[in-house]
A = this chain, B = another copy of it.
Amino acid sequence: MPAIGERAFTRMLARFFAAPSTVRVPIGDDAAVVRNPARESVLCCDPVIEGVHFDADTDRALVGRKVVNRNLADLAAMGAVADWLLVSLVLPHGFPMADLMRLMRGIRAAARAAGCSVVGGDIASSNGPLVVTVTAVGHCRGRVLQRNAAREGDAIHVTAPLGGSRLLHHLRFIPPLAEGQWLARAKVPVRAAMDISDGLLLDLQTMLTASGLHGAELVVAALPVSRAAKQLSCGEPARAVQHALQDGEDHALLFTVEKGRRLPAGGPLTKAARRPIGRILATKGLWLVHPDGGRERVAAQGWEHGIASD
Chain A residues within CB distance 8 Å of chain B: 1-7, 9, 24-25, 28-36, 38-47, 49-53, 73-75, 77-78, 80, 84, 86-88, 90-91, 94-100, 119-129, 131, 133, 135-138, 140, 144, 146-148, 194-195, 198, 206, 210, 304-310
A4 touches B119 (CB 8 A): no
Taking the closest CB of chain B, its distance from the CB of A159, in whole angstroms, is 14
Known interface pairs A25-B146, A124-B47. Does A307 touch B32 (Cβ–Cβ under 8 Å)?
no
8 A/B residue pairs, CB under 8 Å, sorted by A: A4-B308, A6-B305, A9-B307, A32-B43, A34-B40, A41-B137, A45-B88, A97-B309
B131 touches A29 (CB 8 A): no
B75 touches A31 (CB 8 A): yes
B100 touches A308 (CB 8 A): yes
A94 touches B47 (CB 8 A): no
B residues near A30, Cβ cutoff 8 Å: 44, 73-75, 77-78, 147, 194-195
Residue of B nearest to A140 (CB): B33
From B29, B133, B304, A148 is in contact (CB under 8 Å) with B29
Q: How far is the CA of A131 from the CA of B308 in the complex (A)?
A: 14
Q: How far is the CA of A146 from the CA of B33 in the complex (A)?
A: 10
B305 touches A124 (CB 8 A): yes
Q: How far is the CA of A267 from the CA of B250 in the complex (A)?
A: 54
Residue of A25, A127, A140 contacting most chain B CB atoms (<10 Å): A25
B residues near A45, Cβ cutoff 8 Å: 86-88, 120-122, 133, 135
